[in-house]
Structure formats: C-alpha cells, structure tokens
Copies of this chain bind each other. A is one copy, B any other.
Amino acid sequence: MNFREELTSLAAQVDDYLSAYFDRLKSEVPEKRLIESMYYSIMAGGKRIRPVLTLAVAKMMSRDPNEVMPFAAAIEMIHTYSLIHDDLPAMDNDDYRRGRLTNHKVFGEAMAILAGDALLNEAFTLLLETSVKAGNRIERAVEASCIIAKAAGRDGMIAGQVIDMESEGKQISGTVLKTMHRKKTGALIRASIVAPAVFIGLSRDEIKALDEYAEHIGIAFQIKDDILDVEGTAEEIGKPVGSDERNKKTTYVSLYGLDGARKMLDEVTQKAVEVLDVFGDKAWFLKEMAYFIARRRN
C-alpha cells in the first residue's frame, strides 16, 4: 500500500467512526440542534491529521488501530471545538473555514459556544468511558487521557491561543513564536502521537523517539501553514491568502523570509524522519507523513 492510499484509508476510518458516533447521538439526545451544530463542524472535511497519526502509531506497532480509535476521535473533537471557538466574532471573527461557513454563521454565536463546549466535554466523556471499559489496561488508558487533557489545557493549546491573542498587532521574537505554536498546535499533535504510544505500552525509548518526532512535525506543520498563507491560493487553502500580513501577524515567513522559512521546514522535516530510524521499516508511514506535512498544498 502506498502512502496516499494508507492516508485516505485511515482518514476514512476516522470519518466513519465519528460519523457513526454522532449519528448515535442524534438519535439519542433530544436536543437535535446542539448535536447538529457539533456534527456540522466535526464532519466539515478536516484533513484528520491528528487522528490519523494516532491510528498510525498503533499500526506501526502491529496493533489494531481500532484499539486507539477513541483517543483519535477525542483528539479530533478537541481540535474541532478549538476551531469553533477560535472562529467566533470575539476571537478571530472568521466567516469561512475550509471553504464553508463557520459554525456561528450557521447556528448563531450562542449555539456555537455551546457546541464547542459540548465537543470538549464529549471528548472527555469518550476518554473516560473508554477507560472504564479498558479492563487491565485502565491505568494506561487514564494516563493516555491525562496526556490529552494537559495538551489541550492552560499550559497547552489554550495557553497557545492566549499567547496568539496577546501577540496581536505586535512584533514578537522567534522564541515567542515558537513557544506559541508549540502550545497552540504542537501540543495536541504531540498528544495524538504520545497518547496511543502510552496506551499500547511502548517502551520509554520508543515513546521518547515518537515524542521528538511529534515535536518536529508540529513545528513543520506551522511553518508550512505560514508559507501557504503567502504562496497558496484561496481555493486551495479554503480561506483568503495573505491574511497574516494583513493582520500584521508575526510568522515564520515574516521573521525569516520565504526562503528562510522553507529552509527551516526542510531541516525540521529531516529531523522528524531521522528520529524514527530506531523503528526501522515499520516507520515508513510516519516518515511519509512528515514529508506530506511539508509538501501539502492546503
């Protein structure tokens, strides 16, 4: 199987799981409009990069990816809630995401706030229910869930959102930029790789290698985002290009130039790939994933 086929297949498994999960909620929960609002954003055609990484870690270690699917789905719910809240008028005030109207443009601000809250809550409900049923793996399930919680919270993703907000209109240093992205996007990407590694019981050295890989692709992901905002097309990335410059945002491109940013992207991608050498051939998909992140057009 080649990389594109495997990527498509894993993303489809995530889509199927989430779609079935929220279809069940639609039939069970009387507050239809709430579930529709959650559904609208969770099924909005995201690339599923985080949950695919979660499944890929399990597959690399010859485990059934379904074992870690609840962790993958919970992470995607957390990612989705953060997008809904980020798009709100009081935050980034975005009308479009991935070429579709944002949640609050369709369901109204109040429902968008509640749907975001409900997705975050649902992620933890799923993690806790999975842990309850984990039998003799309950400790590892709870540890993996705890890694996800910390990545999402006041010292992870939300901290990154706060730094981003407080940096608005300001010139920030490369160090602050890196910290912001390490928390805002990197933390949850890291959790999507380390949480399944902990749950399936990998060795400390294996977890450490995956952790470093995660750190590198997290940075690569953001550098590429900044590059796409300059050289992508609105059609490809699903939102207006050049928005960073218009909003006077400090980016890898504004700090290091387009060539400088491209060079950093190459270096960090190379590091991500090399650190996986300990896994041998089994790491082929995660390695290709690093290249995919660096080369994507959206």
| Chain A residues at the B interface, C-beta cutoff of 8 Å | 25, 28-31, 33-35, 38, 81-82, 85, 88-91, 108-111, 113-114, 116-118, 120-122, 124-125, 127-129, 131-132, 138-139, 142-143, 145-146, 149-150, 152-155, 158-159, 161-163, 165-166
Q: Do residues A149 and B125 form an inter-chain contact, with CB atoms below 8 A?
A: yes
Residues on the B chain within 8 Å of A29, using CB:
154-155, 159
Q: Do residues B154 and A38 form an inter-chain contact, with CB atoms below 8 A?
A: yes
A35 vs B108: C-alpha distance when bound (angstroms): 28
A85 vs B28: C-alpha distance when bound (angstroms): 25
Of B88, B143, B149, B163, which contacts A124 at CB under 8 A?
Answer: B149
Q: Do residues A143 and B132 form an inter-chain contact, with CB atoms below 8 A?
A: yes
Q: Do residues A117 and B85 form an inter-chain contact, with CB atoms below 8 A?
A: yes
| Given known A-B contacts A145-B128, A146-B125, A154 and B35 have beta carbons under 8 A apart | yes
Q: Do residues B30 and A159 form an inter-chain contact, with CB atoms below 8 A?
A: yes
For the complex with contacts A121-B152, A132-B146, 19 further pairs of A-B residues with Cβ separation under 8 Å are: A25-B154, A34-B159, A34-B162, A85-B117, A89-B90, A90-B90, A90-B108, A90-B113, A110-B165, A111-B165, A117-B117, A118-B154, A122-B154, A124-B124, A124-B149, A125-B146, A125-B150, A129-B146, A131-B142
Q: For residue A152, which residue of chain B has the nearest CB?
A: B121
Q: For residue A32, which residue of chain B has the nearest CB?
A: B162
Residues on the B chain within 8 Å of A114, using CB:
85, 158, 161-162, 165
Q: Do residues B31 and A163 form an inter-chain contact, with CB atoms below 8 A?
A: yes
A153 vs B88: C-alpha distance when bound (angstroms): 21
Q: For residue A144, which residue of chain B has the nearest CB?
A: B128
A125 vs B127: C-alpha distance when bound (angstroms): 12
A117 vs B117: C-alpha distance when bound (angstroms): 7
Q: Do residues A159 and B31 form an inter-chain contact, with CB atoms below 8 A?
A: yes
Q: Do residues A153 and B139 form an inter-chain contact, with CB atoms below 8 A?
A: no
A75 to chain B, nearest CB (A): 13
Q: Do residues A113 and B110 form an inter-chain contact, with CB atoms below 8 A?
A: no
Q: Do residues B146 and A128 form an inter-chain contact, with CB atoms below 8 A?
A: yes
Q: For residue A108, which residue of chain B has the nearest CB?
A: B90
| Given known A-B contacts A31-B159, A159-B29, A162-B33, A90 and B117 have beta carbons under 8 A apart | no
Q: For residue A25, which residue of chain B has the nearest CB?
A: B154
14 contacts between A and B (CB under 8 A): A29-B154, A29-B155, A31-B155, A31-B159, A34-B158, A34-B159, A85-B117, A88-B90, A117-B117, A118-B153, A122-B153, A124-B124, A131-B142, A131-B146
Q: Do residues B138 and A110 form an inter-chain contact, with CB atoms below 8 A?
A: no
| Given known A-B contacts A29-B154, A38-B154, A132 and B121 have beta carbons under 8 A apart | no
